[in-house]
């Protein structure tokens, strides 16, 4: 028996990176997983990987910052699997790296919508099914950038701080329905995204990529970056019965980096 045997989960941003690994871990722990992202081709690959490992998953190509897509994602999940127990809000774009005076308004709106509006919409449409079932778990993948800030990333910091605030509000609102709501705040997570962030930060600051990479790692007392698997294992725990009395929390996973 896995941690999540018998549960149905939606994972947004599931086509690559953290979301893809979360989907794989949830399936290995016994959940049936609806994998959501904008890229249909990458989603098919993600689902195929899960099925090769003996798991159950479906691909729902969608842009969950759009109301109709978020509504359809939840409806297709329930139609296919019969229920919905877990929602992992992982979708979001990191946005540009630029001084605030040069930060385009269109990019601001895009970053807020992709990270924060998508979280709101998926929760909005998922909660009725969880209330009907008498239980549920929502995990929002936030960021340390929403707690301590990151220069030249005003949109991303605002969106991630918003996710943390939404987590606190929803936990209070939904507790009476036996629904837990938590956030995970990763630090630097090894992978393509942090490579792009480091490169763009180096460009803005006039530093070398290697200098910035060392600086990112040096902040962590454990001396290493976080992995997507680290995030995925915690998300699975938070959606399991072992975490039934954990709600309203923002949990850093950052190799000991001070908040």
Question: Residues 128-152: pLDDT tens digits?
Answer: 999 999 999 999 999 999 998 888 9
Least confident of 108-112, 176-180, 191-195, 247-251: 191-195
pLDDT tens sequence across 190-206: 777 777 777 777 667 77
Q: Which pLDDT belongs to residue 202?
A: 64
- Tell me if 20 sits within 8 A of 46, measured CB to CB: yes
pLDDT score of 257:
83
- The answer, yes or no, to whether residue 186 has pLDDT greater than 80, is yes
**Domains of the chain by residue range:** 8-187+227-249, 189-225
Mean of all residue pLDDT scores within the chain: 93
Instruction: Count CB-CB contacts under 10 A for residue 16.
Output: 18
The residue-averaged pLDDT of 206-235 equals 83
* Among 222, 221, 226, 249, CA closest to 237: 249
Architecture of domain 8-187+227-249: 3-Layer(aba) Sandwich (3.40)
| Mean local confidence (pLDDT), 30-50 | 97
> What's the confidence (pLDDT) of residue 233?
98
Q: φ, ψ for residue 240 (rounded to 5)?
A: -100, 170
Q: CA distances (Å), 27 to each of 141, 192, 221, in order?
A: 18, 23, 32
pLDDT at 213: 75
Residue 88 has pLDDT above 80, yes or no: yes
Q: What is the pLDDT of residue 243?
A: 98
Decide which of 14 and 222 is more confident: 14
**Comparing 203 with 76, which gets the higher pLDDT?**
76
Active site residues: 156
Residues 145-166: what's their mean pLDDT? 94
Phi-psi region of 206 (alpha: psi -120 to 50; beta: other; left: phi over 0): left
Q: Which of the two residues, 191 and 171, has the higher pLDDT score?
A: 171
Find the helix packing angle between 118-133 and 67-81, rounded to 10°. Answer: 30
Can you tell me the mean pLDDT for 167-195? 91
Q: State residue 29's pLDDT score.
A: 98
Give yes or no for residue 209 having a pLDDT over 80.
no
Q: Which of 84, 90, 230, 42 is nearest to 73 (CA)?
A: 84
Task: Tell me the percentage of the chain whose pLDDT exceeds 70.
Answer: 97
């Amino acid at each position: 028996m896995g941690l999540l045997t018998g549960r149905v989960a939606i994972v947004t941003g599931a086509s690559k990176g953290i979301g893809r690994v979360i989907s794989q871990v949830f399936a290995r722990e016994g959940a049936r997983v609806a994998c959501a992202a904008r890229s249909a081709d990458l989603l098919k690959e993600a689902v195929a990987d899960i099925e090769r490992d003996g798991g159950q998953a479906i691909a729902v190509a969608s842009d969950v910052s759009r109301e109709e897509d978020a509504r359809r994602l939840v409806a297709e999940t329930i139609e296919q699997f019969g229920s919905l127990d877990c929602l992992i809000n992982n979708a979001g774009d990191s946005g540009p790296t630029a001084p605030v005076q040069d930060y385009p308004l269109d990019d601001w709106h895009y970053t807020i919508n992709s990270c924060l509006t998508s979280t709101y919409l998926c929760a909005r449409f998922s909660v009725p099914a969880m209330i009907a079932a008498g239980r549920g778990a929502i995990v929002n993948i936030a960021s340390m950038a929403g707690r301590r800030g990151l220069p030249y990333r005003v949109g991303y910091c605002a969106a991630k701080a918003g996710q943390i605030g939404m987590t606190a509000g929803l936990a209070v609102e939904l507790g009476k329905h036996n629904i837990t709501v938590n956030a995970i705040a990763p630090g630097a997570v090894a992978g393509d995204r942090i490579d792009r962030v480091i490169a763009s930060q180096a460009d803005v600051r006039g530093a070398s990529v290697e200098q910035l990479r060392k600086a990112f790692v040096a902040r962590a007392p454990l001396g290493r970056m976080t992995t997507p698997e680290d995030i995925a294992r915690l998300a699975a725990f938070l959606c399991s019965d072992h975490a039934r009395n954990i709600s309203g929390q923002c949990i850093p996973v950052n190799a000991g980096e001070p908040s």
